[in-house]
Structure 1
């Protein structure tokens, strides 16, 4: 009880702010005039509201920080885990091998390009180049924070890298669905567009947000959205061997032999949720308690997943500090921009290459 009381004492203000963003974004997205005009999902509206309120967050960061950070990290991971209840292994098998190949190619190429351009061309320090590269190639802020812990680098470098990644992740999240429906991404069907989203967007939340916006715009199926999230989660799982390799690198290049490896356990729990959903799918009509069926339980978990992801998107928007980013990290911003271009180029041709298998 004391630990629960302590948790609420330290997080309640930030959680209330994020909760307000969730409620407002959900309400706005339900208004027909707004929905039919913008086609924005609650996830997209939440992050826009968060960006607008970011000056308020930074003004009262000492009070709001804990709850907002909890929403951006913990609630996002919970939402991702529960998103597994939208997916079955039949869908995972359809893109598993292709996803693994694409994830490996994206992670290796983008990280190496980041090292070369960041260090040799832009004259950034090695750690910042690594952090921006990992965030672009693997899974955004989660990869940056995990690598920062492994390298024991300056936390300010991690903040710069995260700011850059958040901005370009948002740009991709909003622009991809618009570009797809405006025929600016030629020769891709909806499933290969899902593949493209999962292979190139930075954060898992960006992938989910882009897929939801595309679905709201019409003609983008849940199957295509599932393809996007599966490909992205395979990239997330690539963080595990990547961190082991970087821990070995850090041990060899520093005097300290003690390194903490931050393994993304939520990715494995996501797979566990898929396994459970696959097992339960044939029994959806089976009652559990009274009129409550397995299907109603799954639907509740899916709804909770969406709420958690909307909360995380709002929290991410609150943490964008544009003025500080522009003033202190121009080279890192340029590197993130270049890597985003490489992601689009590589992801597009991988999607074209694998399109015939969908």
Structure 2
């Protein structure tokens, strides 16, 4: 019996382009599903689906090379899905919660974000490391981890190796700090609420904040998330500042054509929508759909980025920015500790 043959389209034809999109997006979705499954395993559950997705994509690229059968779809996932995910991520930001608890949290959040970004840039200049890589790491450490790196990367358009390296470094560093916080909890001169605020002020990812605050109880988790949301809110002004003041790796933009980061308007719009729905206790189905959709799209975009990067191209110059990230993480942890005592 003859098996049916898959019809091959000549390169450059509409059929080949469609196949490349479908194959690439489908492959990213498949690896994303595997990543979500891996994230449930006892060890990998600590790094979450994003971390698992990065590891999976990097391992695939290292073992099997470029997934040329779906190049256009993979590029689509790493570029457009990335921006959609950032817009939907704003749905988690409840503006009323931040307003209710005053400016104290936002003041400390602003200090943390400024310290992380400026600190990484200054260390980058002193240690002669790439400015864009330093900025990506500073945004990830100061604002909201991989989501902030993705947003800033969409504006700067740096080397893809820098984006994937930054996300991996933030995930690993944040996970280590979250473990450390949990171990230090019994010995700290902080109340449960203060401890929660400390985690929200200093840890990189929202998942890291929730994980570290959980041992102190539900009230600690609530205040931790509130402190973290203030940093997420600062994603918009930080990205706008970067878009207008800092150089891009894109040649057309270096010539003066600077595209406006329109996806930030989507981020703001979804923040307002989520706040309104939460206030009226409405939109339950929409909430149930949008939050996991944001996670799915962000994970698929991470797969797309990981499949396009070969770490053999990286060199020992990466050690300097990574050690700078560790130093800045320690600094913002100390400042956050003081801020939690002050609040």
TM-score for the superposition, normalised by structure 2: 0.74
The answer to whether the 8 A contact 2:210-2:224 is kept is no
Query: Which of the numbers 208, 211, 214 marks the counterpart of 1:210?
Result: 208
Q: How many residues align?
A: 309
Mapped partners of 1:283, 1:5: distance in 2 = 48
CA distance in 1, matches of 2:87, 2:281: 20
What is the Cα deviation at residue 169 of structure 1? 2.0
Q: CA RMSD in A?
A: 3.7
1:226: how far off? Answer: 5.5
1:275 partnered with 2:276: no
In structure 1, stretches of 5+ residues that fail to align are 119-123, 149-154, 202-206, 286-293
Residue 183 (structure 1) aligns with:
184
1:24 to 34, 54, 67: 34
- Separation in 2, partners of 1:264, 1:42: 26
For 2:184, what is the secondary structure of its paired residue?
Answer: coil
Counterparts in 2 of 1:313 and 1:104: CA distance versus 1, 3 Å: same
Aligned partner of residue 314 in structure 2, secondary structure: helix
Aligned residue in 2 for 1:240: 240
* Aligned residue number for residue 340 of structure 1: 325
Aligned residue runs from structure 1 range 26-45, under 5 A: 26-29=36-39, 34-35=41-42, 38-39=45-46, 41-45=48-52
Deviation for aligned residue 1:209: 4.9
* Cα pair distance change 1:64/1:209, threshold 3 Å: farther
Q: Structure 2 stretches of 5 or more lacking a match?
A: 1-13, 140-147
Q: Structure 1 residues 10 and 214, CA, compared in 2 at 3 Å: closer, same or farther?
A: farther
Report how far residue 296 of structure 1 moved. 1.4
SS at match of 1:238: helix
Residues 116/42 of structure 1: CA separation in 2 closer, same or farther (3 Å cut): closer
Deviations 1:139-182 (A, max 9, x none): 4354356335xxxxxx7xx2453354234223224323222222
Distance 1:313 1:212 in 2: 22
Rounded Cα–Cα distance in structure 2 between residues aligned with 1:270 and 1:304: 14
Partner of 2:61: 54
| Aligned residue in 2 for 1:110 | 120
Q: What is the Cα deviation at residue 343 of structure 1?
A: 1.8
* 1:27-68 residue CA offsets vs partner (Å, 9 max, x unmatched): 4455xxx359955533333333223222256x2343333323
The partner residue of 1:260 within 257, 265, 273 is 257
1:167–1:84 CA distance, 2 compared to 1 (3 A): closer
Correspondences of 1:92-241 after superposition (within 5 Å): 92-93=98-99, 94=101, 95-118=105-128, 129-138=130-139, 139-140=148-149, 142-144=151-153, 146-147=155-156, 158-183=159-184, 189-197=195-203, 201=204, 207-211=205-209, 214=212, 221=221, 224-225=224-225, 227-228=227-228, 230-235=230-235, 237-241=237-241
2:75 paired with 1:74: no
Structure 1 position 19, deviation (Å): 0.8
- Are 1:135 and 1:144, in contact at CA under 8 Å, matched by a contact in 2? yes
1:302 pairs, out of 291, 296, 302, with 291
Aligned to 2:9: none
